[in-house]
A = this chain, B = another copy of it.
Amino acid sequence: MRTSRGLLILLAAVLIAAMSGVVGAAEDPLPSWNDSKAKQAIVDFVKRVTMEGGSEFVRPAERIATFDNDGTLWAEQPMYFQFSFALDRVKALAPQHPEWKTKEPFASLLKGDLKGALAGGERALLEVMAVSHTGMTTEEFEQIVKDWLLTARHPRFKRPYNELVYQPMLELLAYLRANGFKPFIVSGGGVEFMRAWVEKAYGIPPEQVVGSMGKQKFELRDGKPVLVKLPAIDFVDDKEGKSIGIQKFIGRRPIAAFGNSDGDLQMLQWITTRPGPSLGLIVHHTDAEREWGYDRKSPIGKLDKALDEATAKGWTVVDMKRDWKRIFPIE
């Protein structure tokens, strides 16, 4: 029994090795990426950290990679998609709230006057988030987000929002996974908003999503527990919060991080100063034709300090127009 088992294991190992050789030689793992410095930096890094016996080898358990979501894995213009969701929820809930007709920020929102609604500043924004994101159970909320994705359409591309993910980043996720990496989302977006759809879109399971979150309350309803979403902020996963979020939720410093804005600066600082190899990468939105062109002056996805630091520190910068053959899977 022992001998035949050993032989079987050996044979299987040889065959698996042969298979990976065949696959590796035949296919470009990043077909939507033009041959560029960025692509080369990614491929070089993956080779270095996966080469057994090499000086920069990183064992699989430590191959954590973190990805910002808005503007890095999917689009974020003309406004964060989660905010579009919130506005649509306000419209959907309006019939149950006749008082909103005269109450700001809802009155302006319902008239389509976004600027007027946001004149109330942070307080107005929090009110919109509270009515759209709290008061229901976590399971009810998940269903609301899923339903929204089925019917809502992006104003420019007329497609469901979850189709506006970046094809080159999907390939990058698959390439990293094939090389033993464990990808996490680390986003300023709401964790429960993302968990409702990211597994299907990116193959990233809920337990690998770190995001901003509100407080919750445990309740027994007819003897059955539910978690109710409360209108109180618990954690903001942005800027310094991204490094703290990584420490709180992952507990291990990633070896690669991918972002696109100043909100990702501290995450990139945190991972690129680890002892040992690291890859810090910024997606620069340079393609106004196929997507959007924006950086230093954009109110959404502002990329200013992080772009300067990328240059100074030698982080990899992706020029979307030049480096990506395709933007979305739908093209």
Could you list which residues of chain A lie within 8 angstroms of chain B, going by C-beta atoms? 1, 4-5, 8-9, 11-12, 15-16, 18-19, 22-23, 26, 61, 64, 138, 182, 184, 191-192, 195, 199, 205-209, 213, 216-218, 220, 224-225, 227, 234, 240, 243-244, 247-252, 266, 269-270, 273
> Shortest beta-carbon distance, A133 to chain B, in Å?
14
Q: Name the residue on B nearest A23 (C-beta).
A: B5
Q: List 20 A-B pairs, Cβ < 8 Å.
A: A1-B26, A5-B19, A5-B23, A61-B199, A184-B207, A192-B251, A195-B252, A205-B252, A206-B251, A207-B208, A207-B249, A207-B251, A207-B252, A216-B244, A216-B247, A216-B248, A217-B240, A225-B266, A227-B244, A249-B249
> Shortest beta-carbon distance, A193 to chain B, in Å?
11
> Shortest beta-carbon distance, A190 to chain B, in Å?
12
Number of copies: 2
Q: Are A243 and B225 in contact (CB under 8 A)?
A: yes
Q: Are B273 and A224 in contact (CB under 8 A)?
A: yes
> Looking at chain A's contact residues, is the secondary structure mostly helix, strand, loop, or mixed?
helix
Provide the bound-state CA to CA distance between A213 and B199, in Å: 27
> Shortest beta-carbon distance, A194 to chain B, in Å?
9
Q: If A1-B26, A19-B8, A26-B1 touch, does A243 touch B218 (CB 8 Å cutoff)?
A: yes
Q: Name the residue on B nearest A248 (C-beta).
A: B213
> Shortest beta-carbon distance, A46 to chain B, in Å?
20
Residues of B close to A208: CB separation below 8 A: 207
Q: Are A19 and B26 in contact (CB under 8 A)?
A: no
Provide the bound-state CA to CA distance between A269 and B220, in Å: 9
> Shortest beta-carbon distance, A19 to chain B, in Å?
5
Q: Name the residue on B nearest A22 (C-beta).
A: B5
- By Cβ-Cβ distance, the 7 closest A-B pairs, closest first, are A206-B251, A218-B240, A12-B15, A207-B250, A195-B251, A206-B252, A8-B19
Residues of B close to A16: CB separation below 8 A: 12
Residues of B close to A5: CB separation below 8 A: 19, 22-23
Q: If A206-B252, A216-B244, A248-B191 touch, does A270 touch B4 (CB 8 Å cutoff)?
A: no
Contact pick for A22, options B1, B205, B251, B273, CB 8 Å: B1
Extra inter-chain contacts (5) besides given A15-B15, A207-B252, A225-B243, CB under 8 Å? A1-B22, A207-B208, A218-B240, A218-B243, A225-B273
Residues of B close to A207: CB separation below 8 A: 64, 182, 184, 207-208, 249-252
Provide the bound-state CA to CA distance between A191 and B248, in Å: 8
Residues of B close to A220: CB separation below 8 A: 269
Residues of B close to A217: CB separation below 8 A: 240
